[in-house]
Amino acid sequence: MYQSFEVTARPEQGPPRLERLRAEIEAEALSGFLVPRADAHQGEYVAAHDERLAWLTGFTGSAGFCAALKDAAGVFIDGRYRTQVKAQVSDVFTPVPWPDVSLTDWLKKQLPQGGRVGFDPWLHAAGQIRTAVSELKGSGIELVRCDNLVDRIWPDQPSPPMEPVKVHPLEFAGETAADKAARLAEDLRSAGQKAAVITLPDSIMWLLNIRGADIPRNPVAHGFAILHDDGRVDLFMAAAKLTGLEEHLGPMVTQYEPDAFLDAVEALAGPVRVDLSTVPQIVADRLGHRLAKGGDPCALPKARKNAAEIAGAAEAHLRDGAAMVDLLAWLDAQEPGSLTETQVVSQLEACRRRDNALQDISFETIAGTGPNGAIMHYRVTEETDSRLEDGHLLVLDSGGQYLDGTTDITRTIAIGTVGDEEKTCFTRVLKGMIAMSMLRWPVGLAGRDIECVARLPLWLAGQDFNHGVGHGVGAYLSVHEGPQRLARVSHVPLEPGMILSNEPGYYREGAFGIRIENLVVVQEAAPLPGGDAERAMLNWRTLTYVPIDRRLIVAEMLTVEERDWLNAYHADVAAKIGPRLGAETRMWLDAATAPL
């Protein structure tokens, strides 16, 4: 399994580390250096070896970057992390609200006379660099390729991960790797492209029906791949990871060591498809005029889950639901003030580990009580571990990695007697979650077209939240999977088989947080009487079955349709999860799912 390292800078370590980085910047005759929260594979999560942003600044969020200049150092964070960053970085770093303030606008303000800003071309996507270069035109600011300056000053940087790879069984994958490669190769030929470069680890895992352990909580292995237009695959991954996989990979796959990747890219005949949003700039440099823009060829096929993957996800969610109900029943039996956040996290993981199919949790469990719940991606530490006091709301966001599926669920739980304001806000969030669950929409719409449905009850009260309504989820792969999203920036049409989260929330800094999350899968909607017969529609099939805390619901705020949906959902929870529980927990579930 993945080995854990402590790489995060404590606030007092920030100033000396920034000072050493600035010495390297000076030695290279640069004005600054960019430190992204990214690795060469441009996935969302990184190994300890690549936690450069956390090592330098202390910020541990899953998105962001630092622009370190001689006289300023900005840590760019989006709306999810604006509370978290304040507690994690020292005052030598200035939080910058991003994308409200773009990197290029910030650089122009900080370097009015121009300058040379270095970046590691392995760690920045070609599309990011192209956009930045265009926006900096005429400013006198130049982006300069250079070695990684953080690696120079990180004396105990962990080694790159070298975990073994295993076969993902066909019964869960639903399609052979050879058939996937042949299908994607046909798309390349249709587009007149000779090959495609694939750098995202989850795409390689999906294509070859393998899984790894190089990233904590994500069953992926680091490597690169080139898919040729005849279905052959060149896999650039350390041979030590692939022991015993020769028969599975078969003649369609040729293995090379990773250091052969760039030479192989340079030798390709064009045109070569790359996804500019994920391919490292150094790959684009090597391809030059042979580069053909296009999406990752695996992205959409991977997102459109087949029947085996959907069936596996549904079954995994039922077992996961039983574990969650065990936890909720146990939690309900404890007195307010008797538990801490870490005790809840440990108990929940113990409940999940009773299932032999569990491979790992799918991300670090978020258990935020009271004010900690307002930190959207809160992660409890020894310093922040808090007691669940009377009147608190507990935001519990967690999931499991099972051989047959990946789960992600959030429930907000009342601890003792909760105030009316918290209940009112909770009910608005619930109304938004129900509205999205009930939605039908025409084929062709993207996440940006419908995500406001889940926000409307909050908007009507002058409230909102600073994260997307939903993200894609993999099939025993990454818990955050693109390209589909329920977000204002998502242009990707939703299609049958796509699994997404439905998770509106509300957060009041220093007071409480609320989030309710189910996973749902897109399906073709059955025609309705009186509807347009020729107008194809889509809707959701719910995968998550865990009760929603009735103690927090202001029933009078729900419409008849919303109440009917909730009562029907709870009846399904009781029917699907009840038989998987012990007698005492089943009694608790019957009460928790009683009709409103």
Question: Is pLDDT above 50 for 348?
Answer: yes
The interaxial angle of helices 177-190 and 201-208, nearest 10 deg, is 110
CB neighbour list of residue 456: distance below 8 Å, 6 or more residues apart: 432, 435
Please say whether the beta carbons of 476 and 521 come within 8 A.
no
Band (pLDDT 50/70/90 cuts) for residue 6 is low
Band (pLDDT 50/70/90 cuts) for residue 59 is confident
The verdict on domain 304-592 having CATH code 2.60.40.10 is no
The interaxial angle of helices 307-332 and 583-592, nearest 10 deg, is 90
3-class DSSP state for residue 328?
Answer: helix
CA nearest neighbour of 239 among 215, 219, 223: 223
Residue-level pLDDT at 58: 86
Please say whether the beta carbons of 64 and 75 come within 8 A.
yes
Section 159-186 average pLDDT: 97
Span 117-149, pLDDT tens digits: 999 999 999 999 999 999 999 999 999 999 999
Residue type, 427: T
Report the alpha-carbon distance of residue 149 to residue 154 in Å, rounded: 9
Strands 73-77 and 65-69: antiparallel
Which residue ranges make up each domain of the chain?
11-153, 166-296, 304-592
Question: Is pLDDT above 90 for 11?
Answer: no
Q: Give me the helices (H) in 111-176, please.
A: 126-135, 149-153, 170-173
Please state, for a pLDDT cut of 90, what percent of the chain lies above it.
Answer: 88
DSSP state of 494: P
Q: Give me the helices (H) in 250-291, please.
A: 261-267, 281-287
Evaluate the omega torsion of the peptide bond into residue 493 and state whether it is cis, within 30 degrees of 0.
no
Measured in degrees and rounded to the nearest 5, phi and psi for residue 401 equal: -105, 105
Question: Is pLDDT above 70 for 5?
Answer: no
pTM of the entire structure?
0.93
Q: Which CATH number fits domain 11-153: 3.40.50.2300, 3.40.350.10, 1.10.760.10, 3.40.1180.10?
A: 3.40.350.10
Residue-level pLDDT at 261: 98
Give, in words, the CATH class of 166-296. Answer: alpha beta
Report the alpha-carbon distance of residue 498 to residue 468 in Å, rounded: 16
Element (H, E) at 307: helix 307-332
Tokens of 160: 């790159």
**Could you check whether 11-153 and 304-592 share the same CATH topology?**
no
